Every structure is written in C-alpha cells, then in structure tokens.
Structure 1
Amino acid sequence: MTRLRSPFGRWDPAPLGEVAARFSGVESGWWVAGGHAIELAVGRRIRGHGDIDVLLLRRDQLVAQQALAGWQWWAADPPGSLRPWAPDEVLPPQVHDIWCRPGPDAPWRIQIVLDESHGEEWVSRRDTRVRRPIGTLGATSPDGIPFLAPDVQLYYKAKASRPKDEEDFDAVLPALTDHQRRWLHDAISTTYGPHPWAERLQA
C-alpha cells in the first residue's frame, strides 16, 4: 500500500474492500474513481496509489457524512487549503474535494470527489457541454464495487496528464469499446482542443 505525505498530513488509503463496505448502505450513486477505477476496468493492478477517490454527485454530497459517520471530514477550499466540513453543511460549487480520516491523529484514508448533474444527466465540472446520462457514468466490478467508467476518468486525467495518467491510459486503452473511444475523443476535443491522446483513440 502506498503511503503519501502531503502538506496536510499523511495518507494511508483505505483498501477497496473497506471503501465498498462503508458505502454499501448508500442509496444514491457512488463510484470508486481515480487510478483505482482504471484498475477495476482492466481487472488487474497497474501501479501504486497515494490515495483512493470516491465520486459522488454534488446533490448527494451529504451521504458521505452518513457513510463515514464518526470520521473527520475536511473540505478542500481553493486555492490550496483544508477546512473542517460541518455536519449537514452544503458545500459551495467551488469545492470539489473532501479529505476524510477516522480521527485527528489518523492518516487520511478516503477522498470524496464531487461532480455536477442536471436532472438525470451527469455534467462535467470542467465543461458543461460534456455530459451523459447518469446511468452510463459507471460500471460494477465482478465483486460488486461500482467504479467510474474509464472514458470519463480518462477525460479528467487528460487535462494535464502526468506519468501515472499516461500509464493508466496505456493500460485501459485496449479495453475501451468503440463507443467509449468516440465519446472520449469528442469530450477531450471539446474541452481541451488538440490532444496527444486523440490520434491514439482513433487508431
């Protein structure tokens, strides 16, 4: 397990099984995101991880407090600061990330990522032109863990791809369906313009 030290303390990401157990009673949609979502899509381990992400729609944000009852929740208030997230507080639109840990001296264990929606559509927080039905936002692993669809995850990773994002793209590209390739190509082109992944998606 990767342990990462940040300016706000140490990370020791919760294992997938623990995340699934804690969110299993949540009635609204939730999806494992980030590099773990890519690994769930390909069905194998790719690399180490400094954290673990769970994506929620902004409208459902308070279920995180229910799933992680008794924990500390800290909102990532841009630019670059953390503050306590009060019980039942509805976070403002500029807050997209919440860091969670069991107690004040514990390492950070789970990061919540908030994304937007309108009616029955998911709407990218980066570009409101990029959207899709919420029912197509994710998939479920053979052991029952919901995860963000790889084309959506790669869309977010494409903004300023790092070596780990390139590694994830290389790993999952062969597993993308023709529909996922087209959607990702169009979404990247719409939001970011010319991109080095575009040609490979059309190969």
Structure 2
Amino acid sequence: MSAILGPIHHWLFRKIKIQNDLTNTLITTAKDKGLNTAVLADIDEKFGSLPEGDLGNVIDPTNIHGWLQDKIAIVERRLAYVAKNLTEGNPDAIGIICESARTFGKENAIGSGASPVDGFEYYENTFVSGMPCDGVNMVVNEDSDELMWQETVDIHKQYWDEVGADVSLFYEIRNAMIEGVFDGSGLTYYALGNGTYKLVRE
C-alpha cells in the first residue's frame, strides 16, 4: 500500500464526511420532529463513527486504501441504520427524512449558472459512490444542454442488506438531497430508473 496521501484521498474523505454530516442532520431533524431516536442509541457501538480531524492526522498511512474503504462502510451502514429504524412502523418518517435531506442539499448547493458538465462534476465531488477504482458512474450522453450517466453497479446495496434495510430508502434520501443541491442552479435533475440519471439545462 502506498503511504503517500494525495489529493484523491482528501477528495474522497471530504465526500465521506458529507455523507456522515447528512446522517447526523437526519438524526437531529428526527429528534426535533419527535420521531423515535432512542432506537439509534447503539449506532456508534454497532458501526463505529468517523474520526474527527484532518485526514493526515487520522488515517492509517500504511493502509490508505483499506482505511478509506472502511470509513465508506461506516457511513453507509450508519445511514442505512438510521433510515431503517426511523421508518419502521412509521410511514410518515420517510417524508420528514427526505425533506431534511433536501434542505441539507440546499445548504450544499452548487449555485446558479452551472452547465450539465459542471453539475455532474459537482455530483461526483459530493456524493459517495464507492472507491474511485470502482468506476461506478459512467457518462453515456453529453452535450451543452444535457448530461446522462449510468451507475454501473449498485455500490450501496451491500451495506443496506447487511443492516437489513431496504436500499430503496437510500435512493429516496439521495434523490431528495440531489434535488436540493441543484435547486436554483439552472439544472434539472432526473432519476430515470435502472440506475440512469441526467442533468438538463433549464
């Protein structure tokens, strides 16, 4: 394993932290809205937590790839656990969660005047899609007014299956956050099904 920490590692850890922040925001919103968050009391014990501080001070320099992969697993499982436990027996909870995710997306919005290419780059810089070597998101069509991409593999399902959560909840939450990210940008986001998505200039 390389012991050299490069820009791509900082890029990936930033995305991991964004997903961790999203999960923490959902927990805070759930508390504020009176949802049963007592069921989440053991989340750190079950899945661990993300270390605080600069990447260079917290990462294992002898196993950079493995350390980052482990942190992806932590934030994926934590989000799955929160979604599963808040929605079980409470059909209204997913609406509250998605509205919170949409607001979180707006707080991390791209801003106005972005091209579809800019929008996709921002998406890639914001959302966890496995490790860079997984090559999950593949652009299949691109011009000045539209960009379409395909997820080559469902990189999230394995973690949601481990937790016993329905991965469709993940896509509801992520889509809501993406809508927030592109709100007011001049781009419209479409989830077309079968892992295909596009950004269209309004």
**TM-score, length of structure 2 as denominator length:** 0.28
Which structure shows the higher strand fraction? 1
Bigger relative contact order, structure 1 or 2 (CA pairs below 8 A, ≥6 apart) = 2
Which structure shows the higher helix fraction? 2
